[in-house]
Amino acid sequence: MENGNNNAVALQNTHVKLLAFDLLSLTQFPFRSPDAATSFLRRGIPISRVETLGTITLLHLKPDRLLRFAIDDGTGCVPCVLWLNNANSPSVVRRRRHELAARFVEVVKFGAVARVRGRLSRYKGGVQVTVSDVVTERDPNAEIFHRLDCIRLARNCYNLLPSPSLRG
């Protein structure tokens, strides 16, 4: 594989730091992929997981089902979903995920600044983040550092185009 393509492959299963305007502008592969998590592109580079940071501006809890919320970083609002319905699963992994999700519900408060990690998914024609991790940020500089990181990473890592065979 060529050197320029190494970044594309390396980003596929990495939590890519993106600002909301960039995340919301991701395109979907023109074909239906069996693995929906890898069906998004940023300038031709496949992306499946993201990290974003901002203020929680929308909150909708359906007890024992899901928590929907939005993260606003000043460039847009990223819709997020946290699934809560794995409590009775026979899978130990799913039950542990449910316990974590229950703790995350306590963290997600309207107006709090939070860092969210998760995989990309599609809902009603738009991009959303299916949350795997959420933490409240207490550092007053976290938002500006996140924004600077996103700009630096976009310039130095994410804007390197892969070969035409990987482009959508």
Residue 58 near residue 44 (C-beta atoms within 8 A):
no
Query: What is 3-163's CATH topology?
Result: OB fold (Dihydrolipoamide Acetyltransferase, E2P) (2.40.50)
List C-alpha distances in Å: 21 to 71, 76, 147.
12, 6, 12
- Rounded to the nearest 10 degrees, how much is the dihedral formed by the CA atoms of 106, 108, 110, 113? 130
Region label for 74, one of left (φ > 0), alpha (ψ between -120 and 50) or beta (otherwise)? left
Q: In sequence order, which residues have a C-beta less than 8 Å from that of residue 107 and are 6 or more positions away?
A: 114, 134, 135, 136
Distance spanning both ends of the chain, measured CA to CA = 18
Residue 97: Cβ-neighbour burial (10 angstroms; 0-12, 13-18, 19+): middle
Domain ranges of the chain: 3-163
* Residue of 12 and 23 predicted with greater confidence: 23
Among the ranges given (7-11, 110-114, 144-148), the one the predictor scored with the smallest mean pLDDT: 7-11
pLDDT at 61: 87
Strand partners, 72: 55, 77
Question: 142: buried, middle or exposed (CB in 10 Å: 19+, 13-18, 0-12)?
Answer: middle
Q: What is the pLDDT of residues 86-130, one digit of tens each?
A: 655 554 445 556 667 777 777 888 999 999 999 888 888 788 999
Position with higher pLDDT, 164 vs 137 = 137
Mean pLDDT, residues 132-143:
92
Which stretch of 72-76, 156-160, 164-168 has the lowest confidence by average pLDDT? Answer: 164-168
**Least confident stretch, 48-57, 110-119, 147-156:** 147-156
Rounded mean pLDDT of the chain?
78
Ranking 1-10, 28-37, 103-112 by mean pLDDT, the lowest is: 1-10
